[in-house]
Amino acid sequence: MARRPADHLPLRAANAALTLAVVSVLVLGSLLASVLGESMSGLAGQLGTIGLQVLAFALPAVLVCWASDVQITTALGLSFPPARVIVGAILVGSSFWLVNATFIAPLGLELFGGREELEKMSQHFADAPLLMVLVSTAVTPAICEELLFRGAFARAIAARTGLTSAVVVSALVFAAIHFPLARMLPALATGLVLGYVALASGSTLAAMLVHLINNSIAIALAHLAEPDSSGAEIATPVWMVMAAALTVMVGTALVWGPHRASRK
């Protein structure tokens, strides 16, 4: 029998995928840390991180589609976005990281502390080749996390309650897995943007593009920074931040267009 071309998963199936993902992160993450220990900063750690994301995020999303007898590409929103959405996604991804780093990330540190924890996490990647770091912390998350959080979870919620609640709820859950606490606030802001892009455009691939560009720029700059510098302490010119904020607004407007048209 052919799989049904449903445009979303049943909410129960999406919740099952999310539960499986959380359990997998806790179990596999602990196992990975205990086995590798200090080697987490090397090639083995990077490969382990990639494997963890595939098993914990991408696999549950695909499995629940199979178990629910729906077409994976349709249910997870893997349609190729139009050129207008691609341009909007590029604009958002290339500029939102600066807005986040300037306003949201420092607020997270102010509220929750944890600067030393974040610096220790960054040190895990300092000695690894930049290309490998980008694959493990930008390319793989852009694919695997979007399949689960925006492809499976947010689309299932949107079908039941609408776009706004789906964006907010999926962003909250997305932030919850980005511990320590200092990371959760910028992750929440990023999750809101990614959820909006995915649902407003109708394409999870658009959110993947934003996620990929956003993480790649932020991680590359952090990796190439001087050892005594910190992203939260760099004095960014006001005009640059304002230009980034304006670029984000233009990008989100471009993404919104197809959604509005499809709702008429």
C-alpha to C-alpha distances, 211 to 78, 130, 175, 204, nearest whole angstrom: 15, 17, 14, 10
Taking alpha carbons only, the member of 176, 179, 181 closest to residue 113 is 181
Q: What pLDDT does residue 256 have?
A: 87
Report pLDDT digits (tens) over 127-186: 678 899 999 999 999 999 999 999 999 999 999 999 999 999 999 999 999 988 888 999
Q: What pLDDT does residue 231 have?
A: 45
CA distance 81 to 207: 10
User: Which of the two residues, 261 and 29, has the higher pLDDT score?
Assistant: 29
Q: Does pLDDT of 22 surpass 70?
A: yes
Q: What pLDDT does residue 257 have?
A: 61
**All residues at 6 or more sequence positions from 233 whose CB lies less than 8 Å from its CB, including other chains:** none
Q: Does pLDDT of 126 surpass 70?
A: no
Q: What pLDDT does residue 5 have?
A: 64
Report pLDDT digits (tens) over 73-122: 999 999 999 999 999 999 999 999 999 999 999 998 888 877 777 776 66
Maximum pairwise Cα distance, the chain: 61
* The one-letter amino acid at 105: A
Task: Find out whether the peptide bond into 186 is cis, omega within 30 degrees of 0.
Answer: no
User: Which of the two residues, 53 and 127, has the higher pLDDT score?
Assistant: 53
Band the pLDDT of 232: cuts 50, 70, 90.
very low
The Cβ of residue 264 has, within 10 Å, a number of other Cβ atoms equal to 4
**How big is the CA angle at 183 (ends 90 and 41), to the nearest 5 degrees?**
90
CA distance 185 to 57: 21
Residues linked to residue 27 through DSSP beta bridges, in sequence order? none
One-character DSSP codes across 204-261: HHHHHHHHHHHHHHHHHHHHHS-TT--TTT----HHHHHHHHHHHHHHHHHHHHHHHH
Q: Does pLDDT of 208 surpass 50?
A: yes
The chain-wide mean pLDDT, for the chain, equals: 88
Question: By three-state DSSP, how is residue 69 classified?
Answer: coil
Q: What pLDDT does residue 43 have?
A: 77
Is this model's pTM higher than 0.75 or not?
A: yes
Mean pLDDT (whole number) for 13-31 = 94
CA distance 191 to 201: 15
The domain spans of the chain are: 11-263
Q: Does pLDDT of 49 surpass 70?
A: yes
